[in-house]
């Protein structure tokens, strides 16, 4: 085979491989939202008490957010393909158990394992993309595909959940993962090339791994259980305080160990920490829209599960259109920062429009335009944020950085949902106590939550304007070299890491 033909074949392989990892990410994202519209049917079928119903969602969120950092670092240590395929296999098996569940305990436990599998597979995807797609143009396009499934997949999940629940039954929202998972495993095993891990020969930071995973698990549990216990309750303060203490212990360990799971040098990488803050504020406002918007459509407007899913199509289509190459071309011409800032502003405006809804608002034009702006804003903001975050990360730490990016997204999404959900519930109760009818009170609660979400994204835009800068070409080039030492062995290893 000639050199040109070999290059073309390698290029085709990496794009097909990108599709494989995005299939896995789509499954993970779908299962974060697909259950929302099916919850009433699941509750009725399995006789789940209202107070315990949220655990069908929370079990997934807790495990997904808790294992991202550990799994990302394991990808650096033992090989990303191995970690990715292990996560897909675990996710697929857990999906089968979810579909077969006939009682609440089995379903919640399987959802926890499903979230763990999703975390393991998705934790290394960004690392695989940035180490395979080194050129700025192809990398931006590859990141666009990732962002589409990571962000747009949430609203697609509402549509899939509504369609499957109404046409078949709720069990199939989990069963549809099985053929997708099997195909992903087969194609992934054939197309993905393993990266040589840094190695476990210097010892594994077992204590640090346990500490950070436990800290994240306690933190997310404290966050997602606040609607039930309250922010100032002993329950929330105890679990939140324990999480803070464990995080403090974790950072002390990382500073002292010779082979830590999270070398603290990663926090000094330009753009990684600051983009995590901005991304967190963006996710806090945006991701709560899926949950609160679905509640508004179903509980106030009385829409069916399918109609609720269709209502979110403007958001998905907008993210998809921008991810098809528009955002990548805009970044190439104007730079990530100049594309990201308008995206943050559009997202804040979309949330402000959502805050104008009332119980008599027609879907069009108000909610339609709001969701369209949210999709345009997300499509313009998330990709540049990801590009800036990963631009200066050494290849040997790409898995860890990928985990940090995902942790910031999932933690802030869980926190945003808990905070905005609590604000919505408390305000609705107050309005109902003052004499408002239930639909009016519910809508008032949702509107206030959207307003707070808009403020979060607006703050993110201000911080992005102050803190974030487009990485200069020299820095981007440096990030594409696998390590700062530039050894030939690591360079060869990273060149086949997808």
**Tell me: domain 9-204+261-495, CATH 1.20.1250.20, correct?**
yes
How far is 292 from 154, CA to CA, in rounded Å? 13
Question: Which candidate, 137, 132, 128, places its Cα nearest to that of 25?
Answer: 128
What's the pTM?
0.79
Chain segment 124-163, per-residue pLDDT in tens: 888 888 878 878 778 888 888 888 887 777 777 878 888 8
How far is 447 from 50, CA to CA, in rounded Å? 23
Q: Decide if 148 contacts 320 (C-beta within 8 A).
A: yes
> What was the pLDDT predicted at 490?
31
> What was the pLDDT predicted at 425?
85
Q: Decide if 224 contacts 62 (C-beta within 8 A).
A: yes
Question: Which candidate, 424, 317, 442, 320, places its Cα nearest to that of 368?
Answer: 317
Give domain limits for the chain: 9-204+261-495, 205-260
Write b or e for each residue in 107-124: b if 16 or more Cβ atoms lie within 10 A of its Cβ, otherwise e. Answer: bbebbbbbbbbbbbbbbb
> What was the pLDDT predicted at 134?
77
Percent helix, strand, coil in the chain, to 5, is 80, 0, 20
Token pair of 101 as six digits? 């569940």
Flag residues of the chain having pLDDT under 70.
1-10, 50-51, 196-204, 470-498
Tell me the residue length of the chain: 498
Phi, psi of 451 (to 5 degrees): -65, -40
Chain segment 11-59, per-residue pLDDT in tens: 778 888 898 998 898 888 888 777 877 887 898 899 888 667 778 888 8
> What was the pLDDT predicted at 371?
95
> What was the pLDDT predicted at 50?
65
> What was the pLDDT predicted at 474?
39
DSSP string, 327-367: HHHHHHHH-HHHHHHHHHHHHHHHHHHHTT--TT--IIIII
Helix (H) or strand (E) holding 306: helix 305-311
Token pair of 33 as six digits? 């939202």
Give the max Cα distance, the chain.
78
Phi, psi of 324 (to 5 degrees): -75, -5
| C-alpha triplet 369, 371, 377: angle, nearest 5° | 100
Token pair of 63 as six digits? 């495990």
> What was the pLDDT predicted at 198?
65
Three-class SS state of 496: coil
């Amino acid at each position: 085979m000639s050199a040109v033909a070999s290059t073309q074949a390698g290029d085709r392989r990496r794009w097909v491989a990108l599709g494989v990892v995005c299939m896995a990410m789509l499954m993970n994202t779908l299962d974060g939202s697909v259950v929302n519209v099916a919850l009433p049917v699941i509750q009725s079928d399995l006789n789940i008490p209202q107070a315990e119903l949220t655990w069908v969602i929370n079990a997934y969120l807790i495990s997904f957010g808790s294992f991202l950092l550990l799994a990302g670092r394991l990808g650096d240590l033992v090989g990303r393909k191995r970690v990715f395929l292990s996560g897909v296999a675990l996710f697929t098996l857990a999906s089968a158990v979810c579909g077969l569940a006939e009682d609440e305990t089995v379903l919640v436990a399987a959802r926890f394992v499903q979230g763990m599998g999703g975390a393991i597979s998705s934790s290394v995807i960004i690392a695989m993309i940035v180490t395979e797609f080194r050129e700025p143009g192809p990398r931006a396009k590859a990141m666009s595909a990732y962002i589409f499934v990571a962000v747009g997949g949430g609203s697609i999940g509402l549509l899939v959940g509504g369609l499957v629940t109404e046409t078949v039954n709720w069990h199939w929202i989990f069963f549809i993962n099985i053929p997708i998972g099997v195909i992903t495993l087969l194609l992934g095993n054939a197309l993905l090339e393993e990266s040589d891990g840094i190695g476990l020969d210097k010892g594994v930071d077992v204590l640090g791994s346990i500490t950070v995973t436990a800290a994240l698990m306690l933190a997310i549990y404290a966050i997602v259980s606040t609607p039930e216990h309250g922010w100032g309750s002993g329950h929330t303060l105890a679990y939140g305080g324990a999480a803070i203490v464990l995080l403090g212990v974790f950072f002390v360990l990382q500073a002292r160990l010779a082979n830590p799971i999270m070398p603290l040098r990663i926090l000094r990488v330009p753009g990684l920490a600051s983009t995590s803050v901005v991304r967190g504020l963006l996710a806090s406002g945006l991701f709560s829209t899926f949950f609160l918007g679905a509640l508004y459509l179903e509980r106030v407007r009385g829409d069916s599960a399918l109609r609720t899913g269709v209502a979110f199509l403007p958001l998905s289509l907008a993210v998809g259109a921008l991810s098809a190459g528009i955002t990548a071309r805009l970044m190439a011409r104007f730079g990530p920062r100049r594309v990201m800032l308008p995206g943050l502003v559009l997202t804040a405006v979309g949330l402000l429009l959502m805050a104008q809804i009332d119980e008599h608002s027609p879907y069009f034009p108000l909610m339609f335009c709001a969701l369209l702006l949210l999709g345009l804003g997300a499509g313009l903001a998330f990709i540049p944020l990801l590009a800036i975050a990963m631009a200066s990360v050494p290849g040997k730490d790409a898995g860890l950085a990928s985990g940090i990016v995902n942790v910031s997204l999932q933690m802030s999404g869980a926190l945003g949902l808990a905070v905005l959900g609590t604000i919505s519930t408390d305000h609705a109760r107050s309005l109902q106590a003052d004499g408002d009818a239930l639909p009016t009170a519910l809508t008032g609660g949702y509107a206030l939550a959207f307003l707070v979400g808009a403020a979060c994204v607006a703050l993110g835009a201000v911080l992005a304007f102050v803190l974030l800068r487009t990485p200069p070409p020299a820095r981007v080039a440096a990030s594409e070299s696998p390590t700062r030492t530039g050894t030939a062995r690591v360079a060869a290893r990273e060149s086949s890491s997808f």
